Amino acid sequence: MAQRLDAALELLDRQLVDKDGQLAGKVDDLELTDPGDNPDPPDVTAILTGPAALAGRLHTPVGRWLAKAAARLLAPGHQQPSRVPLDQVEAVGASIQLKVAAGQLDAGAGEARARRLIGGIPGAGDAAQ
């Protein structure tokens, strides 16, 4: 994928959609190559997602605290961002299509925990009418 994109504008904060069409979080941060002495802009190597990735990108203490609180509440024990290498990206558009399932991402842990919490309530598996 040697595509040229304005990463800040066309990747960051976009919606991730997994291989089954399910919403899978947002592009919370990007992993870049170390530019070293190279004057060219660095390349994007992976998409980072999850509240931990978000906290790393926020510059205000309040924002960072909010993101960390969200991470702790929803995915305790998973303080590392999920990493999606670019070769796992199917297409980039209004949303980012992935080749993997949401459950395979680390950020899926928060989803699984929430499902355990509410899964015992009768009707959790029924669609509303």
Partner 1 sequence: MRKLLEIALGVLTAIGGFVDIGDLVASTETGARFGLGLAWVVVVGVLGIIVYAEMAGRVASVSGRAVFDLVRERLGAGVGLLNLAASFFITLLTLAAEIGGVALSLQLATSVNYLLFVPIVGLLVWLVCWRVRFELMDNAVGLLGLALIVVAVAVWRAHPDWGAMLHSATHPVVPGTESHAAYWYFAIALLGSAMTPYEVFFFSSGAVEQRWTRSDLLVNRLNVYIGFPLGGLLALALMVAAALVLEPRGIDPSHLSQAALPTSLVLGKLGLALALLGFFACTSGAALETALSCGYSIAQYFGWPWGKLIKPARAPRFQLIVLVSIALGAGLVLTTLDPIKLTEYAIVLSAAALPLTYLPLLIVANDPAYLGDKVNSRLSNAIASAYLVVLVVASVATVPLMVVSKAGGG
User: Which CB, 2 or 62, lies closer to partner 1?
Assistant: 62
Are 35 and 42 within 8 A, CB to CB? yes
Q: CA angle, 113 as apex, 60 and 104 as ends, to 5°? A: 85
What is the nearest approach in angstroms of partner 1 to the Cβ of residue 86? 18
Alpha-carbon gap, residue 28 to 58, rounded angstroms: 10
Alpha-carbon gap, residue 32 to 38, rounded angstroms: 13
Binding mask 64-83 for partner 1 (x = CB under 8 A): --xx--x---x---------
Q: Does 12 bind partner 1 (CB under 8 A)?
A: yes
Q: Does 24 bind partner 1 (CB under 8 A)?
A: yes
CA-to-CA dists, residue 39 to 35, 45, 115, 122, angstroms: 7, 18, 47, 59
User: Which CB, 39 or 123, lies closer to partner 1?
Assistant: 123
Q: Does 2 bind partner 1 (CB under 8 A)?
A: no
Q: Does 7 bind partner 1 (CB under 8 A)?
A: no
Are 73 and 55 within 8 A, CB to CB? no
What type of residue sits at position 116? R
Task: Using CB under 8 A, list all residues that contact partner 1.
Answer: 12-16, 22-26, 28, 49, 51, 54, 57-60, 62-63, 66-67, 70, 74, 94, 110-111, 114-115, 117-119, 121, 123-129
